[in-house]
């Protein structure tokens, strides 16, 4: 039974096949409107979410399926101490596929090892968020038409930002990619990501604290939120939370075809004055996330022989 825990679970060919499937769904929605008739998605969210949970649910409805949902751990038997393993075994009796978010790294893998249906990791602590990376890849493909020859600025919380680590993994597979890593000293990209992904693949990168100086060279600027929920110390969070705020003044120095991305939710990282700029792609990312989740549900249910 195939589950998806990490972006490394996909080969490059599989990522490209999913992008092609998502593009076909966008162009021919009627073709897919009943492919999951009678099938059920269970969304198990032990941590807050707007986009990921609702886009999974919208995706299943648009494929003709149904959704059963746990939106709050406190209203489930997790509040009585039930384990993730037992929850996964139980939900396997009711649904055909699970999308799960949990604050603990590794929880999705535990669920996958105990479920008898496919499990999709919808975020496990600071570890992985593979379906956000699928949304990011479809957005880059639709904006740029290719993944090669891009200079990508990653800005903000590069330490705890699970979406950043997964995006580096996915893009490191392509030719002539360069990364500009823009963060406060305390939130630099972890050494293991630099060693295992960037240096191992001979991907050029620079590290800086300066967003203004970096902007002119970028094809993509991927902003991230400083994540309050990952800090042990409120004082450190308050000191770092507004390290980078993208404003129209800063954007004026960027290329005309820059793509500004953000996995959202944003707090202050991008001024709302930028939302109407043609370079703002973050709400396109939201929509693309739904299409990639449709493609993924479809593919996993096909592989499982459920449809
Ligand atoms: N990007 C993302 O994961 O958003 P949510 O936390 O709202 O699901």
Taking only the tens place, the pLDDT of each residue in 123-175 is 998 888 999 999 999 999 999 999 999 999 999 999 988 899 999 999 999 99
**Segment 38-80, tens digit of pLDDT:** 999 999 999 999 999 999 999 999 999 999 999 888 889 999 9
Question: Are 39 and 97 a contacting pair, CB within 8 Å?
Answer: yes
191-206 average pLDDT score: 95
How many other CB atoms are there within 10 angstroms of residue 61's CB atom? 15
Encoded tokens for 106: 């590794």
Quote the pTM value.
0.96
* Spatial distance between the Cα atoms of 42 and 164, rounded to a whole number of angstroms: 27
Write the DSSP symbol of residue 133: H
Which of 111, 137, 139, 129 lies closest to 52, judged by CA?
A: 129
Which of 92, 114, 88 lies closest to 100, judged by CA?
A: 88
Ligand 1 lining (C-beta closer than 6 Å): 49-52, 123, 132, 263-265
CA of 291 to the centre of ligand 1 (A): 15
Cα distances from 173 to residues 5, 20, 28, 166, in angstroms, run 19, 18, 29, 12
% of residues, the chain, pLDDT over 70: 99
Atom of ligand 1 at shortest range from CA of 53? 8
Which of 96, 155, 165 lies closest to 129, judged by CA?
A: 165
Cα distances from 282 to residues 169, 172, 251, 274, in angstroms, run 20, 22, 15, 11
**What pLDDT score does 121 carry?**
97
Supply the residue whose CA is at minimum distance from atom 4 of ligand 1. Answer: 51
**Segment 70-125, tens digit of pLDDT:** 988 888 999 999 999 999 999 999 999 999 999 999 999 999 999 999 999 999 98
CA of 129 to the centre of ligand 1 (A): 9
**What pLDDT score does 43 carry?**
98
Atom of ligand 1 at shortest range from CA of 129? 3
In degrees and rounded to multiples of 5, residue 68 shows phi and psi of -115, 140
Q: Which of 69, 132, 282 to mutate to test the pocket of ligand 1 (most atoms within 8 A of CB)?
A: 132
Element of type H or E holding 92: none
In degrees and rounded to multiples of 5, residue 205 shows phi and psi of -150, 155
Residue 303: which pLDDT band, with cuts at 50, 70 and 90? Answer: very high
The C-alpha R_g of the chain, in whole angstroms, comes to: 19
Longest Cα–Cα distance of the chain, Å, equals 55
Residue 248: which pLDDT band, with cuts at 50, 70 and 90? Answer: very high
CA of 125 to the centre of ligand 1 (A): 12
Supply the residue whose CA is at minimum distance from atom 3 of ligand 1. Answer: 52
Element of type H or E holding 128: none
190-200 average pLDDT score: 94
274-286 average pLDDT score: 98
Q: Is 160 helix (H, G, I), strand (E, B) or coil?
A: coil
**What pLDDT score does 227 carry?**
79
Q: Which of 53, 100, 121, 123 to mutate to test the pocket of ligand 1 (most atoms within 8 A of CB)?
A: 123
**What pLDDT score does 264 carry?**
96
**What pLDDT score does 22 carry?**
98
DSSP symbols for 36-69: TTT-EEEEEESS--SHHHHHHHHHHHHTT-EEEE
259 DSSP β-pair partners: 220
Q: Which residues contact 207 (CB under 8 A, 6 or more apart)?
A: 181, 183, 188, 189
Atom of ligand 1 at shortest range from CA of 135? 1
Element of type H or E holding 118: none
CA of 49 to the centre of ligand 1 (A): 5
% of residues, the chain, pLDDT over 90: 88
Supply the residue whose CA is at minimum distance from atom 1 of ligand 1. Answer: 263
pLDDT reading at 229 higher than 80: no
CA of 284 to the centre of ligand 1 (A): 14
Supply the residue whose CA is at minimum distance from atom 6 of ligand 1. Answer: 49
Atom of ligand 1 at shortest range from CA of 55? 8
Peptide bond connecting 132 to the previous residue in cis, omega within 30 degrees of 0: no
CA of 58 to the centre of ligand 1 (A): 14
Q: Which of 55, 125, 263 to mutate to test the pocket of ligand 1 (most atoms within 8 A of CB)?
A: 263
Q: Is 235 helix (H, G, I), strand (E, B) or coil?
A: helix
């Amino acid at each position: 039974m195939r589950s998806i825990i990490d972006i490394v679970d996909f080969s490059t060919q599989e990522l490209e096949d999913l992008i092609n499937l998502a593009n076909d769904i966008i162009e021919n929605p009627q073709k897919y409107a009943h492919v999951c008739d009678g099938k059920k998605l269970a969304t198990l969210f032990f941590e807050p979410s707007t986009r990921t949970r609702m886009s999974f649910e919208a995706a299943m409805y648009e494929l003709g399926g149904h959704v059963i949902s746990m939106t709050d751990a406190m209203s489930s038997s997790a509040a009585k101490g039930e384990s993730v393993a037992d929850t996964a075994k139980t939900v396997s009796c009711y649904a055909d596929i699970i999308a799960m978010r949990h604050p603990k790294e590794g929880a999705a893998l535990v669920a996958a090892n105990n479920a008898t249906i496919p499990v999709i990791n919808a975020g496990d602590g600071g570890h992985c968020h593979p379906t956000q990376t699928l949304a990011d890849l479809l957005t880059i493909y639709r904006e740029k038409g290719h993944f090669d020859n891009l200079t990508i600025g990653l800005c903000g919380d590069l330490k705890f930002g699970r979406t950043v680590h997964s995006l580096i993994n996915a893009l490191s597979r392509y030719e002539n990619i360069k990364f500009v890593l823009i963060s406060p000293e305390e939130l630099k990209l972890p050494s293991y990501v630099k060693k295992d992904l960037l240096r191992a693949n001979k991907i050029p990168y620079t590290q800086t604290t300066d967003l203004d100086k970096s902007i002119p060279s970028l094809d993509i600027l991927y902003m991230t939120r400083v994540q309050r929920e990952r800090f042990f110390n409120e004082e450190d969070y308050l000191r770092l939370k507004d390290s980078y705020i993208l404003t129209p003044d800063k954007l004026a120095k960027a290329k005309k075809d820059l793509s500004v991305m953000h996995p959202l939710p944003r707090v202050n990282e991008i001024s709302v004055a930028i939302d109407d700029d043609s370079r703002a792609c973050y709400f396109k990312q939201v929509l693309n996330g739904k299409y990639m989740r449709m493609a993924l549900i479809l593919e996993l249910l096909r592989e499982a022989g459920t449809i």
